[in-house]
Structure 1
Amino acid sequence: MKSADSRYHWMDRFVFVMAVPAIVAYLGLYALVPDVYTVGPAVLLLLALLASGRLWPGDHLQREDYVFMSALLVYFLAQCLVNLIHGEDISEFDLATRFLAGALVLVFTRRYIVSFGVFFFAVALGSVATGLLALYQMVQGTGGRVTSFDNPIHYGNGALALALVCSAGLVWSVQARNRVLWSLLLLAGFVLGLYASLMSGTRSGWVAAPVIVAVFAYTFFPSFQRHKVAVLIAAALLLLVTVMIVQVESVTQRTAVAVEEFQDYFAEGRNYTSVGLRLDMWKSGLTAFSENPLVGVGPSGYDVVEQKLIEQGQVHPGIAPFRHLHNQYIDAMAKGGIVGLAAYLYLLLAPFILFMRRVHSSDQVTRALALGGALFISTHAVVNLTQSMLERNIGVMMFIFIPLIIWSVMAKRDDEVRSRQSK
């Protein structure tokens, strides 16, 4: 971000000053305040366009940046291709354009990004705020699931994402200069964010627990021989958290209800429950996929298939109002076929692999950021087994820009480490 003579160009100063509050507000408030999840990224996109002359030919980008960017562009192109083949209305291209915008913003944030300290501070404050909101609603006794401006699902999954990034930040904080303060802040963020997720009653995030444990295990396994005591303490804390989760009444109740509804669907044909409707949506989605496995039937074509199944009595009419199928994989298959599914899997796997390649980094900042990115992507992959997060703007903006910001902060740290090593 500095010129050769170490003086900031006026454009650098301007866009960086504008970018910092946009990034901090997005990280800290996207689960709490309406429209922040769109305003922050929109500001970054405008700044990227404004600074485009200083961003190209992209000599500040590394090969892995292009791989990350390709995941966004491939998904964008696949969505456009499917929509063009099926002659969809122009409105169906709307969400896809966010992925193109994300690729442009990545070029920008790789040059203009906050420090890792500012990043973890914003994430921790955001996670603490989500938890305090949940505590406030529980104390007020409003009843039902806690939430913010949207529905409990997006609030709960947003809180869980912030909590997991806070937990990854603890990898760095225990060795930070002010490690006690940083550790307390990030630990508070983890606990309160997790509490908000539990109180939201969002079951889709809880299912990701085994995957989260697996990512942590892979990250810390090489350290086991050198730090057996520390790893055992971490395992004990993880077990304690698991026991606490199981003891939360809302978790046990909603889990038991889900199991009962699943059994009743197959045993008694009850398809008018929450789980039953989801299973009927999946049934209709797979039927649509079978009609055109290569490129699916498109969004409007799926509506036709769904209506036919409803008229035949094969699925419950209650699925008609839902815009998506509550399973991103089946949704991609139904509307985009193998092309749509492959693009979505690449969107998940490319950044996940890039993050996992750095979870064993000798630099603790890089390691913490990589772990945070890997946890976010893997949790999203599991959540989308029962949700279609990419079929709503709020889900799209969360999925694109949180990993993108984590990647940019981590890549900046990598650049700094390499610069020091070369001197």
Structure 2
Amino acid sequence: MLRQYFSALLWGLAALTFALAISTPNGYGIPTGLLFLASASLFYLRPKWCDLSLEDRRLFYAFLAFGLSMFVFVYLDGWYTRELDRPSRFILVLPVLLMLLQSSNHKEWLWYGAIVGAIGAFALACYEKFVLGIDRAHGSEYPIMFGNTGMLLGLLSLAGASYFLAMKRYFWLSLALIAAIAGIGSSFLSGSRGGWIALPIIGCFMLWQSRELFSKKSLVGVLVAAFILLGVAVAVPQTGVMKKVDQTLVSLSQYYSGENKATSLGMRFDMWVTAYHLFQESPILGVGEYGEKAEKKRMVEQGVIPPAMLHFNHAHNEFINALSQRGLVGLAFLLLVYLVPMRLFIKKMEANANNWRIKSYAMAGALIPMCYMDFGLSQVMFAHNIGVMMYAFPIVYFWAATRWAEREELGESKSN
């Protein structure tokens, strides 16, 4: 009985990670910190390494390899130990993975957490935008991080909607759909354009994977509703979407004509060019985060890059930033921590194509690296605490949920 209550507590904390993520200051940090402290229970649970599947180990080793590789790069960059904090989360989450694989109750609470988190994010964004008059909703984070996390919560809620639809639980289906719109809406209100690219791409992926749940008429209805909602988001001036689109087009024109390169988009292009020059200096292991500062000063003195580039600590692109600071080796480890989890989840989706008790959790897990690869095109997500935490921990949550869903289905089939 005590173990059942403890399992419920663990999954409750996992759900709170989503529920509090951006609607409260450091909302993601408290539940994840408590989960890590609770992982001391492994001494009591005594998980056996041989009980882990090959897939469990692949995820475990992918996170471990990325975390340790970042430690090595910090050492090569001068051993500034404060830079160990964020990559250490990929290692500290591993005992949580082992613990959740031993704790089977209440995985469904992840959906409830995502729903509450997405609706809470939208409520906060509306308050900041329409009551306080803030130009870009941001909560206690940077607008880009707020918007990208809101988009992630919205898409997780959409994955939850597929689960509730398959289970014919229409009340929670309605709430999940509202939460999906809310999470996406919070991204729009933040003005974070980079996250918007994820919506049509990942939305189409999820719709294609869920096509068997819809009749032809309902599928057409879903598409029409999606286009109407998108049109409303673009057309209503208060959302700021059309303003951002116009700014993007103007910035592109001004940058390439040479009229004005100091726009937000223009500065990004200059950051990417700067990162390319840094990559050429050390293509294998990169110049390092701190080594980059000295290299930038030298390039400014030589007139290679504009002086404004000295004010930025990263390239606002996860992939290009990895190349410049950690070289081809660093990029390889970054791709490892994206592609290994994504492939593991997609394999689970393929193996359980018609079983939504399992597939929905696997689909939610797969869309996390998908979203992050999109977000990484315009932001270095892993340079922020929330970016690291809302990647590593949710992947562990949904992997453990997928594995438990498999075990439960296997148990039911044996009993039948």
TM-score by length of 2: 0.92
Q: Distance in 1 between matches of 2:362 and 2:47?
A: 26
Aligned residue type for 1:381: M
Matched, 1:380 2:380: no
Change (3 A) 1:59 1:229: farther
Q: Which residue of 1 aligns with 2:100?
A: 109
Q: Distance in 2 between matches of 1:208 and 1:69?
A: 27
Q: Distance in 2 between matches of 1:198 and 1:418?
A: 42
Alignment partner of 2:260: what SS?
A: coil
Alignment partner of 1:359: what SS?
A: helix
Q: Which residue of 2 aligns with 1:89?
A: 80
Deviation of the 1:49 alpha carbon: 2.4
1:164/1:376 contact within 8 Å kept: no
Change (3 A) 1:59 1:155: same
- Aligned-CA RMSD value: 2.2
Q: Which residue of 1 aligns with 2:388?
A: 396
Q: Deviations over 1:246-300 (max 9, x none)?
A: 3243112112212321332232063322112211211121111111111111111
Matched, 1:261 2:232: no
Which range moves more in the overlay, 314-323 or 201-210?
A: 314-323
Q: Quick one: higher RCO (CA 8 Å, sep 6+), 1 or 2?
A: 1
2:12/2:109 contact within 8 Å kept: no
Q: 1:350 aligns with which of 330, 335, 340?
A: 340
Deviation of the 1:92 alpha carbon: 2.3
Q: 2:323 aligns with which of 319, 324, 333?
A: 333
Deviation of the 1:170 alpha carbon: 1.3
Matched, 1:33 2:21: no
Q: Distance in 1 between matches of 2:270 and 2:130?
A: 37
Q: 1:188 aligns with which of 151, 165, 178?
A: 178
1:271/1:315 contact within 8 Å kept: no
1:130/1:193 contact within 8 Å kept: yes
Alignment partner of 1:325: what SS?
A: coil
Matched, 1:364 2:356: yes
Q: Which residue of 2 aligns with 1:237?
A: 225
Matches within 5 A, 1:294-313: 294-313=284-303
Q: 1:165 aligns with which of 125, 136, 156?
A: 156
Change (3 A) 1:244 1:352: farther
Alignment partner of 1:111: what SS?
A: coil
Q: Which residue of 2 aligns with 1:274?
A: 264
Aligned residue type for 2:38: L
1:359/1:370 contact within 8 Å kept: yes
Identical counterparts, % of pairs:
24
2:15/2:111 contact within 8 Å kept: no
2:4/2:105 contact within 8 Å kept: no
2:159/2:206 contact within 8 Å kept: no
Q: Which residue of 2 aligns with 1:149?
A: 140
Deviation of the 1:387 alpha carbon: 0.1
Q: Which residue of 2 aligns with 1:5?
A: none
Which range moves more in the overlay, 135-144 or 400-409?
A: 135-144
Matched, 1:412 2:385: no
Q: Which residue of 2 aligns with 1:48?
A: 39
1:67/1:350 contact within 8 Å kept: yes
Q: 2:126 aligns with which of 113, 117, 135?
A: 135
Change (3 A) 1:36 1:113: farther
Q: Distance in 2 between matches of 1:353 and 1:241?
A: 31
Q: 1:247 aligns with which of 235, 240, 251?
A: 235
Q: Deviations over 1:284-320 (max 9, x none)?
A: 2111111111111111111112222223333333332
Change (3 A) 1:229 1:196: same
Q: Distance in 2 between matches of 1:359 and 1:321?
A: 44
Q: Distance in 2 between matches of 1:43 and 1:60?
A: 25
The answer for unaligned runs of 5 or more in structure 2 is none
Number of residues of Structure 1 aligned to a counterpart in Structure 2: 411
Q: Distance in 2 between matches of 1:60 and 1:230?
A: 43
Which range moves more in the overlay, 152-161 or 232-241?
A: 232-241
Aligned residue type for 1:417: E
Aligned residue type for 1:232: V
1:16/1:113 contact within 8 Å kept: yes
Alignment partner of 2:61: what SS?
A: helix
Q: Distance in 2 between matches of 1:20 and 1:366?
A: 17
Q: Which residue of 1 aligns with 2:189?
A: 199
2:11/2:106 contact within 8 Å kept: no
Deviation of the 1:239 alpha carbon: 2.6
Deviation of the 1:14 alpha carbon: 6.2
Matched, 1:98 2:86: no
Which range moves more in the overlay, 363-372 or 81-90?
A: 81-90
TM-score by length of 1: 0.90
Alignment partner of 2:349: what SS?
A: coil
Deviation of the 1:84 alpha carbon: 2.7
Q: Distance in 1 between matches of 2:314 and 2:402?
A: 34
Which range moves more in the overlay, 127-136 or 325-334?
A: 127-136
Alignment partner of 1:299: what SS?
A: coil
Q: Which residue of 1 aligns with 2:414?
A: 422
Q: Distance in 1 between matches of 2:23 and 2:307?
A: 33
Aligned residue type for 1:122: G
1:376/1:403 contact within 8 Å kept: yes
Q: Deviations over 1:116-151 (max 9, x none)?
A: 431111111111111122233344152411221122
Q: Distance in 1 between matches of 2:126 and 2:76?
A: 49
Q: Distance in 2 between matches of 1:273 and 1:391?
A: 22
1:16/1:112 contact within 8 Å kept: yes
